[in-house]
Structure 1
Amino acid sequence: MESKVSAPLPLKSRQLYKLVLTGGPCGGKSTGQDRLATFFENMGWKVFTVPETATILFGGRVKFEELNPEQAYLFQKDLLKTMLQIEDVFFNQAEATLDRNILVICDRGGMDPSAYMGRDEWFQMLHEIGVEEFDLLNKRYDQVVHLVTAADGAEEYYTLANNVTRKETLSAAKEMDVKTRKAWLGHPYLDIIDNSECRKFEDKVLKLIQVVCDRTGIDPQDRLSKNSRKRKWLVRSIDESRFVKYEQFNILHEYLLSDNPETQVRIRSREQNGRSTFTVTRRELHRGKEFVETRTQITFREYTRYRTMKDRSRAPLHKQRRCFMVGNQYFNLDLYTVIPPSANSLQLDGHLIFLETYTTVPKGEPVLLPDFLEIEKEITGQAAYSMYSMAKIPNSDRETDEFVGAAECLDD
């Protein structure tokens, strides 16, 4: 099946949008970046994600607490120069991409280092590297989104586990959050995503995507509403002659072993036109109350290392995903290219095809569905149709306990 790819865009109508994601420790940047990138890719945008420079350098065994004042200043100056150079690489690639809209997501930006020093030192540093604060604050980035630390308003979710370079206590995290927020005061498009009115972490992620959609002029309809839920249908057939324009991705999911039955981990490869992104997704039970899902983009090397930890009792899941819109409603259509081992009885005419969308319309109530698809039935909330269930290899021995949240996480 061939993808109906986007046509080249006239330069005057093409958007190149440069976004900074910043915030305090454990604010949700990693998951937010991945969800944001996936959302815009599904809308047909090209997305570049700029890695956090500090994490790269600290990963090389630099220990900031061991540096004397002179070393710390030199490190911060080199960090800023490196950050701007890495960003320029991605900005140049974005400028050279002419056939679609482009979103560049920077994991922190040029003003963030100013939170770690006095104003005199900061201006001295800028003078030495030939950079103006006005340009960093007002001209370099189209939007800055600050994700408030979980230590301020969502303390039960604050953790050091998902970032090996993070060492801050609750009070230190809140203090650092305030300093980072103040560093960006004055940017013409600064949005602050706090933890208020967020009953769960997913609400915060939806708020993030919404503020970026607002700035870029995208109307996601009710997909980003806090009451929006995923609904799924089993598809019998497709009328290819009437299919609307879509973006197509080849996706591979694999479940990993976990020594904690309250944690589920899977990795994903997502490929389009020979280029791939890699993600690790974790579902964890927090204080026995709810399952929180976090996603982090990983490198190919990390992805390869994770694959050695595969759960051998579950098969890899191969599918083609088509992302498209009908009217104002956004849909994903998943076509399994290999029937999962526990899904043989679910296929129709030798195919296994699912349609999904996010909507505030409750399960069972009518939703306007694409008329070029023949829908067999709704499968929202049916355990047999979850990826975790379908991947199970019958009569296989599992090395660790089954995920205790399988009954609650049915619509993955």
Structure 2
Amino acid sequence: TETVDEAKELDHKTLEAWLGHPRLHVIDNSTDFETKIARVTKLICVDVGKEPKVARHKYLVISATIPSSVSAEVVTVESIFLSEEKNIRVIKRSQQGSSTYSVKEYRGQLLESYEHITAAKFLEYSVKQSAVSCVKKKTNFIWNHHHYSLQEYQAGCITLTVGGHHDTSADHPFPPFIAISKDITDNSKYSCLGMAYSCPTDLSE
């Protein structure tokens, strides 16, 4: 068995290896072990569509410069929407020179279906007359043992999403290298769907 320091180092290396994965969740030790297990179970249920998506805290960013000493992974995500009413999104996800393609359909906040598709099929969707897209560069990083995602939208704004159930405005301070404007967690204008259908000039407030 490893020592405490060795265990911490292994945890850190494992976390770095999974940085950038769309289903990365960091479960901290702020609760007892039984509650921690329940939190893990809930997140699994969300990811497989058995429970509604967890609302993650999201903030509008004024400026951000992530230091080179902070472990980070950059992912580019293009989401195509064919209808403003139906929550069906076609996704191209690019990381380290490789891309994957998928279609997700939501019923409310529940994941209804998920399908991997080919690059050719993605192109078919992208040229449909009704298609609108949202492109963002996500810089995923770990700071103070918590997972953050800095999202730079083609529409012109930058947001910070906090992974997990914790609120950075309370017990977990914001990274000092990011200047926050306001909380936009419940503002649908700043969702990916909202970005796709909004004029860029509407997103600066």
Do Structure 1 and Structure 2 share a fold, with TM-score over 0.5?
Answer: yes
Report how far residue 326 of structure 1 moved.
0.7
Q: Which residue of 1 aligns with 2:150?
A: 333
Residue 251 in 1 paired to residue 92 in 2?
A: no
Q: Which residue of 2 aligns with 1:292?
A: 110
Pair 388,310 (structure 1): closer, same or farther in 2 beyond 3 Å: farther
Q: Work out which structure has the larger RCO, using CA pairs closer than 8 Å and 6 or more positions apart in sequence.
A: 2
Q: Which amino acid aligns with 1:268?
A: I
Helix, strand or coil at the partner of 1:369: coil
Q: Root-mean-square deviation (CA), in Å?
A: 3.7
Paired residue total? 166
Q: Which residue of 1 aligns with 2:96?
A: 273
Q: Which amino acid aligns with 1:388?
A: L
Q: Percent identity?
A: 21
Q: Which amino acid aligns with 2:196?
A: A
Which has more strand, going by share of residues? 2
C-alpha deviations, 1:332-365, integer Å up to 9, x for none?
11012x22xxxxxxxxxxx511000133346974
Q: How does 1:113-262 map to 2 (within 5 A)?
A: 204-206=45-47, 229-241=55-67, 244-257=70-83, 261=85
Report how far residue 276 of structure 1 moved.
0.5
Check conservation: 1:237, 1:375, Cα contact below 8 A.
yes
Report how far residue 203 of structure 1 moved.
5.0
Residue 38 in 1 paired to residue 22 in 2?
A: yes
Q: Which runs of 5+ in 1 are unaligned?
A: 1-13, 16-36, 44-196, 209-225, 286-290, 340-350, 395-412
Structure 1-normalised TM-score?
0.35
Which has more helix, going by share of residues? 1
Q: Which residue of 2 aligns with 1:377?
A: 182
Q: Which has the larger Rg?
A: 1
Residue 353 in 1 paired to residue 181 in 2?
A: no
State the distance in 1 between where 2:122 and 2:48 align. 29
State the distance in 1 between where 2:48 and 2:91 align. 24
State the distance in 2 between where 1:361 and 1:374 align. 19
Check conservation: 1:234, 1:377, Cα contact below 8 A.
yes
Q: Which runs of 5+ in 2 are unaligned?
A: 1-12, 15-20, 27-37, 200-205
State the distance in 2 between where 1:253 and 1:202 align. 23
Pair 279,243 (structure 1): closer, same or farther in 2 beyond 3 Å: farther
Helix, strand or coil at the partner of 1:38: coil
Report how far residue 381 of structure 1 moved.
0.4
Report how far residue 233 of structure 1 moved.
0.5
Q: Which amino acid aligns with 2:165?
A: T
Report how far residue 325 of structure 1 moved.
0.6
